[in-house]
């Protein structure tokens, strides 16, 4: 028996396949590129080509596009990112007390006490410190993003960068370049600034204690990890599958749901060949005039989203 987790985010779509021991036997990272349906189908095609002979007993979805993904694949569990990341971390280590998660467009902090989420916060307003921001700065500095952290570790001096806002951080970094500071010092300063921004905003008022897991795509950046360790004064741990923890967590949740319910809703990997279309319309049923999105599979309507009253979303059995 195997279990599938799908995390559809604004930047990336992550898919993981777990075996009966909950070990990751496949993980797929794809750019969402504004088309979550295509990203999920592409991921399922890869899975079908490599694992068509296995039985998937449960499937879960998470991320900002989790509802759309649920409709496409027939998910057994649909959970927010906070719960999914917490479940995955606790499956690895019951002693985790804090989770820092930084992805492509947003960042989160999750406080765990006695094996449950006791507090959390998210920052979706400013992109400073997220993966897309770091990609942009690496391009501006003419280096590969994979080299970003190594440059930071070469520096012994942290150039002061204003990190409270993505726009200010970028302009301040450009100013430091024009003054002649070397790349390593600028990058270390940028890492320190982004960590300060995270702790002063997302982590404000939170009791951040070890054991701490650093999750999300930005955890690959050793410069940011080192900056967190300098700021916090203790070790930051990065789990093996740091970039797909949300997908792992929701796969585990789906397994438990199916075990309790006795059956799965999963439609199978064959949907990679289905023809999905989406369109939107404005409902004139009341003064709200909701803009409703409708998804069809092979010319059959399978889901509607965006209506406040449920008039459209409730009439299609998923």
pLDDT at 24: 97
Asked if residue 105 has pLDDT above 90, the reply is no
pLDDT at 163: 62
Q: Rounded to whole angstroms, how far apart are CA atoms 125 and 223?
A: 23
What are 175-221's pLDDT values in tens digits?
887 777 888 888 888 888 888 888 988 999 999 999 999 999 899 99
**Angle between helix 183-201 and 166-178 (nearest 10):** 160
171 vs 25: which has the higher pLDDT:
25
Q: What value does the mean pLDDT of the chain take?
A: 89
Cα-trace Rg, the chain: 21
Percent of the chain with pLDDT strictly greater than 90 = 51
Q: Which CATH superfamily is domain 94-240 in?
A: ATPase, nucleotide binding domain (3.30.420.40)
pLDDT at 76: 97
- Residue 66 gets the label, from left (phi > 0), alpha (psi -120 to 50) or beta, of alpha
What three-state secondary structure class fits 249? helix
Q: Rounded to whole angstroms, how far apart are CA atoms 71 and 303?
A: 6
Asked if residue 160 has pLDDT above 50, the reply is yes
Most confident of 134-143, 165-174, 242-251: 242-251
Q: Where along the chain do its domains lie?
A: 2-85+246-273, 94-240, 275-299+307-318
Asked if residue 230 has pLDDT above 90, the reply is yes
Q: Answer yes or no: are the C-beta atoms of 86 and 97 closer than 8 Å.
A: no
At 124, the pLDDT band (50, 70, 90 cuts) reads low
pLDDT at 193: 85
pLDDT at 317: 46
**CATH architecture, domain defined by 2-85+246-273:** 2-Layer Sandwich (3.30)
Asked if residue 97 has pLDDT above 70, the reply is yes
Q: pTM of the prediction?
A: 0.87
Q: Answer yes or no: are the C-beta atoms of 153 and 222 closer than 8 Å.
A: yes
**Do 2-85+246-273 and 94-240 agree at the fold level?**
yes
Residues in the chain: 318
pLDDT at 318: 42
Contacts of 296 (CB under 8 A, 6+ apart): 276, 277, 278, 302
What are 26-51's pLDDT values in tens digits?
999 999 988 899 999 999 999 999 99
What are 256-313's pLDDT values in tens digits?
999 999 999 999 998 888 888 888 889 988 988 898 888 888 878 888 888 888 888 7
């Amino acid at each position: 028996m195997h279990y599938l987790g799908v995390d559809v985010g604004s930047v990336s779509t992550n898919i993981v396949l777990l075996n009966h021991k909950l070990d990751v036997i496949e993980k797929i990272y794809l750019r969402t590129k504004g088309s979550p349906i295509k990203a999920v189908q592409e991921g399922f095609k890869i899975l079908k080509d490599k694992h068509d002979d296995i039985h998937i007993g449960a499937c879960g979805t998470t991320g900002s596009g989790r509802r759309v993904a649920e409709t496409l694949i027939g998910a057994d569990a649909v959970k927010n990112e906070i719960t999914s990341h917490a479940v995955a971390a606790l499956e690895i280590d019951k002693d985790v007390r804090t989770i820092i998660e930084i992805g492509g467009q947003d960042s989160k902090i999750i406080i765990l006490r006695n094996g449950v989420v006791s507090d959390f916060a998210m920052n979706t307003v400013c992109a400073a410190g997220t993966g897309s921001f770091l990609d942009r700065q690496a391009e501006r500095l003419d280096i590969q993003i994979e080299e970003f952290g190594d440059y930071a570790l070469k520096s012994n001096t942290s150039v002061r960068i204003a990190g409270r806002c993505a726009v200010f951080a970028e302009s301040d970094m450009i100013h430091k370049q024009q003054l002649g500071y070397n790349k390593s010092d600028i990058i270390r300063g940028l890492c320190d600034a982004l960590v300060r921004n995270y702790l002063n905003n997302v982590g404000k008022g939170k009791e951040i204690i070890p054991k701490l897991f650093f999750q999300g795509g930005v955890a690959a950046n050793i410069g940011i990890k080192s900056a967190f360790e300098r700021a916090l004064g203790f070790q930051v741990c990065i789990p093996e599958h740091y970039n797909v923890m949300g997908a792992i967590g929701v796969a585990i949740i789906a397994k438990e749901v199916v075990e309790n319910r006795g059956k799965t809703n999963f439609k199978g990997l064959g949907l990679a060949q289905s023809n999905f279309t989406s369109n939107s319309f404005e409902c004139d049923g009341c003064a709200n005039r909701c803009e409703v999105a409708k998804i069809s599979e092979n010319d059959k309507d399978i889901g509607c989203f965006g209506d406040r009253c449920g008039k459209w979303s409730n009439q299609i059995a998923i």
